[in-house]
Structure 1
């Protein structure tokens, strides 16, 4: 790789060989010796931070596990109280001798009064912002720090009383804190408070780097033109040299005249023959290490390294062939986005550790996802989340934190939102994974068609909508445009609600006719939008999660301990209604949980494949939802304990870059090849009609091809070929070694027979290999065990006379008697 030097000066050469004295900002963590209590109580209790009050209470064994049984309802008193935290810390003379000392809070949830040495120094009112305060004048050798958290409910009532009309949906709209804390149709109600981020003292002398943004100006295969935008605070005017290194090699050295106070500076540089950042399925998510050093004479004042991927991202929404498009171009290439909606991983964010982020985002990659949508009712995630998405090649549709409501628009609220946007855009804008900033989740759809306008005067409606416009067509897009290098902004997801006929032809869509309106799964095949950013169906969590919730060794889904973990009012009813349509309804709770997962995977699988077959008309499939914040019956593919449901395995196969897909159209089964790769494919298409004992009844073979980034209909199989009952046969299709089996009737109608499955378990370095064979078709084979680990594949069809090898990753010992399996054959045959 060749680097070009821009503005190379003699002074810059000197600094490469000179000894550099580090005079960067001194950072002191204040994380020890914290205590907390209810404000009205006398006794203090030990506290770890960052944490919520709920987590600290649990650590002190003062409450039962909030996720077990119906404990959620027993713990609502916590959010009705005021709480306070305190600690003491030392600041020695060398620290206090620094010219500038600030106290920083990376998260205060939410209404917090901060006292340092009994002086009120800060009043915070936004859980999404970072707060700081100059404390040099009041800092001592020994210091006391106290933070009082006012319960959100009381403040929300005060704010509500200021309005002469009511805002949908409830008092949560007045607090800038995670909206899912107030309960959702998949989540519990835990209105938390606490110190949600690190607490640090930052001290420095003459110069402080406030922020560095690597702006990508222009890029092609020959060179990337970039600018380091540096925000500095200096005590005096002086001349410094700014050096930029890329992967350790200096590419720019620029003499710069600093001004006293806070100022912005621009340092251009370039990289020749740049490596492009791609999603993991299309190439290498290559990241450069870009280091910015600031020197004064022979001293190093500041140094910061930013990991940056070079790529172009564009949201195409203009009219094409008489219709408005909606798709992303990555590095100039239209890319079909495959993935899911992401919510916070835990109701109590402090319980989410680095390994949890690593595991979940690795699961997304294993599932062949190239985009996640960070939903607007959750949080702006921790830095590690975005770091890992950069590294793993996952693009992010990033919502601002507004969901399913209308919000106030007074001057204080709007200023708070503006500061929140600035904080988070600046924090995240160097991340290559950010593909889109979206204003909100379903706010405009709710206003248009959810009855929110009922009973309001025209003046009130105009005022509420004006406040909406001020935030989502004013503040937010203005800050995205000002602070990023042309990252797209989208006002609201979806563009049009499903009550508007344009939902299928413009913008992104949320399709909830399936589930909420009980439409059949075939609706997904008949109504494909330009980009599906939300659609879903519930499934039960794993046996492990159910046992955890109920604290029982058996599976019980009818007792109150488990029923309280179904948050949709019609959830159980809808699952059964759909199951009766398409699947056999089992008699036992254990089998019912298994079939509910098959049902969820079956329905969402239809949607994913329909959307991929429709490429390029449709260019995205993001189902609701990837994960859970606790163990619950929900729309997730991965449950609250991290276990993969059948949906996640189905998504993994449905999102592969090469997909063999079918659709039954009257008397014909249409076969599509869908190819997301950047090069075309040619090969032999082999089709054979088999019965469930493996007998071949018909076959054909022909050459076939599919272009790069293309979906192509390659074969129409006439059902007249089937000479026997459609319930007894399947079509096996093979293209270049990739195989799929397609059926002609619903799962409940299949003529499946019981048969014995032979199995062998072989120890491997990273776990075990499980080998399965059978003389008859085994439908939806589900492997499960109490041993901690992960099955590489599951809920699969085992063809007669073939060998299926499954890898089970585990650090534990697995005995054959501890490995269990279920098949749909047994359930159908027993009925």
Structure 2
């Protein structure tokens, strides 16, 4: 039987004359930090002080003895970052040049000093650039010239920390006669039954041994004789339960086992989990252009998505528990699709396991982003090899529903002046329209492939044409007010977003001792976007008076503006289902503490945007929009059951007076949108008026009418993110607000409210209109979390913020951590 010996201990990191203990898996930066040789690059402006690390060569060493009674011993690296020579006892085993691949070396009978010498990624990339010629890119660093996580060279949200190291596990494998080299599981649903076809490849030491492969799935077992190095077993599971995305059904998973047998003796075993489901991508042309709709088990979906970047710029630090925690946060916000972005990595099995269990669909980019990539050797062979390995590695996961060729490269060729600069040089088109679709079609025909994001489906249309395929909406953040989202209805919005700073406690940790200001040295260093602060300020001043010298106020308003901006897009596009079939917010997470588009900051704290996503991505959503001089109310129902509701509409003044009221019936079938014209007499007139639409008296928003103490429906004092994500998703308890003027022009009253401690939280009772009230729990205690974000209270209403992790509750501290919109002064 194959035996595996982990090799995680006993390594040293050597750079003459220094030698220090090394952690494997790990990287040079984390080892140097552990030894106290470099400061934490996430703090202050330390990133610049450690730039030298990526420019040097480094060597990992350990003694290796490999005694075994078996015929063969292999040295297996699951990941090496990135360009290295591997030697044992002075003998060169091989050279490697791809972070996204695993490597195997025959070391039978060998022992001695094992050495992995890493060449600077800069040196390798610059050498390839010199040989193949300059290629354009969105950033100056040479990330497109080698197969490495592109964002380690920096991005508009990430630091430049160019890593090297043994970033995934390493082991010895001892075996005799034969081993399982690869299992390719094709999982389909045919006539109501689950079908698994297991294509098995083996490696032999003896070609004459008659071998058998045995496959087991869900209690069903079958055997087949091997023909040389290949064999196929096919199992039909008549009673298989379907795997569904979260919110559509359950996620049953089945254990799969493949055993390689020599007579009655087991030589090797391969185990995974699978789920039975069908997936299609409907790209048929229609009256609106060309669609892009995911269809799972025959059910057409509006994808409620987020973009995922590596959760740490040092990915070897991301544990199984951290993946699970971050993805549970996503599920708790109502997310059902996670796009693994192309400037990062193929994530570890832990990521996809969690998505399988949580019902999160995965859109997987191949690792190409924002650059023209040469197609000559040595890159071409590496691209195909990594694609073949990772397609097969990730195939068992039912959560994986889409392969995507690249991020923004087809768009860049057309719009970013690449075509003229390239003058006929290769730039990656052969990968996205040739190599990658061929590999997917050969190895994984059960899943759709799209050439890029954005991509209109062919060169007949502009790559980012909103009427065809996927669309990235960045003109709004870069140049326009977020009201610009409402000017079009793309078929699928794969990227859009708005920036905001991280939580206050995250800033205090990352910028110790700094007097915080939007333009203080540390804040500017942790703002990587081109003119990022300028865009934040311009976006803010369209709605608010920009505070001068009041950092706390600026911090609150920029976070509020981020939530408002994303809400403007999601509400509009969801209301236009099925023409628009999905939104993928840029972005869920951060890889370090930074001002960015993330909903969860680099320390794992939720911004107000995160809590707003709970409302925006709930099964049921109410939204009010201006149209033809009046207002339209859209009731979005993504649940399977019909939604019937009598809504209360109130035209109100900002002083709290009800100026008009009506009841309106809505009826939205399952997975549909109902639209109702608001009576003209209820349309707000001027900046002093607004409209409120309530289902169930606002209960599901966590708001309770009246002034008595207690917890209203939807309030979960001390509840976790997973529970809170369903608040307001029932038959009642939804609220939509419409203000016809920007906040800076609205004559708000001075906000007045009472604050009291409640069991597990803080209760606020409004005495006036209180718009977008926010409890910043991390200001109470760095470890504290609130269970909700922004909430607007009418006079007499109350809300309870559940708070976890607050060690010493105090009502005055609570009051000081509450922020809301204030009248313009």
How does the TM-score come out when normalised to structure 2? 0.91
What does residue range 76-475 of structure 1 map to in structure 2 within 5 Å? 76-92=51-67, 95=68, 97-137=69-109, 139-140=110-111, 143-163=112-132, 166-168=135-137, 170=140, 171-220=142-191, 222-234=192-204, 235-240=206-211, 242-247=213-218, 249=219, 251-254=220-223, 256-260=224-228, 263-321=229-287, 323-456=289-422, 460-461=423-424, 463-464=425-426, 468-475=428-435
Within the candidate set 13, 34, 52, 2:11 is matched to 34
Q: Any idea what SS the aligned residue of 1:57 has?
A: helix
Whether the 8 Å CA contact 2:188–2:446 is kept in 1: the answer is no
CA distance in 2: counterparts of 1:652 and 1:215, whole angstroms = 35
| Residues 516-575 of structure 1: CA deviation (Å, up to 9, x unaligned) | 2x1121211111200000111111111112112210386333321221111122111111
What does residue range 744-759 of structure 1 map to in structure 2 within 5 Å? 744=739, 745-759=741-755
Q: Any idea what SS the aligned residue of 1:190 has?
A: coil
Residue correspondences, number: 781
Q: Any idea what SS the aligned residue of 1:639 has?
A: coil
Whether the 8 Å CA contact 2:135–2:371 is kept in 1: the answer is no
Hey, what does 1:479 align to over in structure 2? 439
Gaps (5+ residues) in structure 1?
1-22
CA distance in 1: counterparts of 2:287 and 2:461, whole angstroms = 25
Whether the 8 Å CA contact 1:674–1:710 is kept in 2: the answer is yes
Hey, what does 2:454 align to over in structure 1? 494
User: What value does the CA root-mean-square deviation take over the aligned residues?
Assistant: 2.2
Deviation at 1:320, TM superposition (A): 2.5
Bigger shift: 209-218 or 275-284?
Answer: 209-218
Whether the 8 Å CA contact 2:781–2:805 is kept in 1: the answer is no
CA distance in 1: counterparts of 2:460 and 2:677, whole angstroms = 33
CA distance in 2: counterparts of 1:826 and 1:168, whole angstroms = 41
CA distance in 2: counterparts of 1:573 and 1:69, whole angstroms = 21
Within the candidate set 486, 497, 510, 1:549 is matched to 510
CA distance in 1: counterparts of 2:690 and 2:208, whole angstroms = 82
Q: Any idea what SS the aligned residue of 1:607 has?
A: helix
1:572 is the counterpart of 2:542: no
Hey, what does 1:19 align to over in structure 2? none
Bigger shift: 490-499 or 297-306?
Answer: 490-499
Cα gap change, 1:152 to 1:34, in 2 (>3 Å): same
Hey, what does 1:506 align to over in structure 2? 468
| Residues 244-272 of structure 1: CA deviation (Å, up to 9, x unaligned) | 4334x2x1232x33345xx2211111112
Whether the 8 Å CA contact 1:541–1:631 is kept in 2: the answer is yes
Hey, what does 2:756 align to over in structure 1? 760
Whether the 8 Å CA contact 1:237–1:258 is kept in 2: the answer is no
Cα gap change, 1:776 to 1:484, in 2 (>3 Å): same
Cα gap change, 1:654 to 1:241, in 2 (>3 Å): same
CA distance in 1: counterparts of 2:259 and 2:105, whole angstroms = 26
Whether the 8 Å CA contact 1:368–1:655 is kept in 2: the answer is yes
CA distance in 2: counterparts of 1:644 and 1:44, whole angstroms = 40
CA distance in 2: counterparts of 1:693 and 1:737, whole angstroms = 26
1:792 is the counterpart of 2:792: no
Q: Any idea what SS the aligned residue of 2:268 has?
A: strand
Hey, what does 1:18 align to over in structure 2? none
CA distance in 2: counterparts of 1:671 and 1:501, whole angstroms = 33
CA distance in 1: counterparts of 2:631 and 2:195, whole angstroms = 51
Whether the 8 Å CA contact 2:646–2:664 is kept in 1: the answer is yes
| Residues 347-372 of structure 1: CA deviation (Å, up to 9, x unaligned) | 11122222221111011001101111
CA distance in 2: counterparts of 1:48 and 1:426, whole angstroms = 29
| Residues 319-378 of structure 1: CA deviation (Å, up to 9, x unaligned) | 134632111101111100012111011111122222221111011001101111111011
| Residues 565-617 of structure 1: CA deviation (Å, up to 9, x unaligned) | 11122111111111111123223011101100111111111011111011000
Whether the 8 Å CA contact 2:64–2:113 is kept in 1: the answer is yes
Cα gap change, 1:307 to 1:817, in 2 (>3 Å): farther
Q: Any idea what SS the aligned residue of 2:86 has?
A: strand
Whether the 8 Å CA contact 2:526–2:593 is kept in 1: the answer is yes
Whether the 8 Å CA contact 2:622–2:736 is kept in 1: the answer is no
1:659 is the counterpart of 2:644: no
Deviation at 1:771, TM superposition (A): 2.3
Cα gap change, 1:647 to 1:122, in 2 (>3 Å): same
Cα gap change, 1:432 to 1:455, in 2 (>3 Å): closer
Within the candidate set 496, 499, 506, 1:538 is matched to 499
How does the TM-score come out when normalised to structure 1? 0.90
Whether the 8 Å CA contact 1:50–1:350 is kept in 2: the answer is yes
Cα gap change, 1:813 to 1:295, in 2 (>3 Å): farther
Cα gap change, 1:486 to 1:722, in 2 (>3 Å): closer
Cα gap change, 1:269 to 1:724, in 2 (>3 Å): closer
Bigger shift: 238-247 or 487-496?
Answer: 238-247
Hey, what does 1:778 align to over in structure 2? 770
Bigger shift: 297-306 or 361-370?
Answer: 297-306
Whether the 8 Å CA contact 2:213–2:226 is kept in 1: the answer is no
Q: Any idea what SS the aligned residue of 2:173 has?
A: strand
CA distance in 2: counterparts of 1:701 and 1:196, whole angstroms = 61
Bigger shift: 479-488 or 366-375?
Answer: 479-488
CA distance in 2: counterparts of 1:663 and 1:213, whole angstroms = 50
CA distance in 1: counterparts of 2:764 and 2:134, whole angstroms = 64
CA distance in 1: counterparts of 2:261 and 2:133, whole angstroms = 58
Hey, what does 1:57 align to over in structure 2? 32
What does residue range 581-592 of structure 1 map to in structure 2 within 5 Å? 581-587=542-548, 588-592=550-554
Q: Any idea what SS the aligned residue of 1:453 has?
A: helix
Cα gap change, 1:166 to 1:297, in 2 (>3 Å): closer
CA distance in 2: counterparts of 1:356 and 1:814, whole angstroms = 28
Whether the 8 Å CA contact 2:135–2:374 is kept in 1: the answer is no
Within the candidate set 70, 76, 81, 2:45 is matched to 70
Cα gap change, 1:494 to 1:386, in 2 (>3 Å): same
CA distance in 2: counterparts of 1:514 and 1:306, whole angstroms = 44
Hey, what does 1:561 align to over in structure 2? 522
Whether the 8 Å CA contact 2:23–2:31 is kept in 1: the answer is yes
Within the candidate set 12, 18, 21, 1:46 is matched to 21
Whether the 8 Å CA contact 2:410–2:463 is kept in 1: the answer is no
Bigger shift: 491-500 or 184-193?
Answer: 491-500
Whether the 8 Å CA contact 2:635–2:666 is kept in 1: the answer is no
Whether the 8 Å CA contact 1:728–1:752 is kept in 2: the answer is no
Q: Any idea what SS the aligned residue of 1:617 has?
A: coil
Cα gap change, 1:30 to 1:515, in 2 (>3 Å): same
Q: Any idea what SS the aligned residue of 1:228 has?
A: strand
Q: Any idea what SS the aligned residue of 2:44 has?
A: coil
Bigger shift: 584-593 or 372-381?
Answer: 584-593
CA distance in 1: counterparts of 2:736 and 2:129, whole angstroms = 58
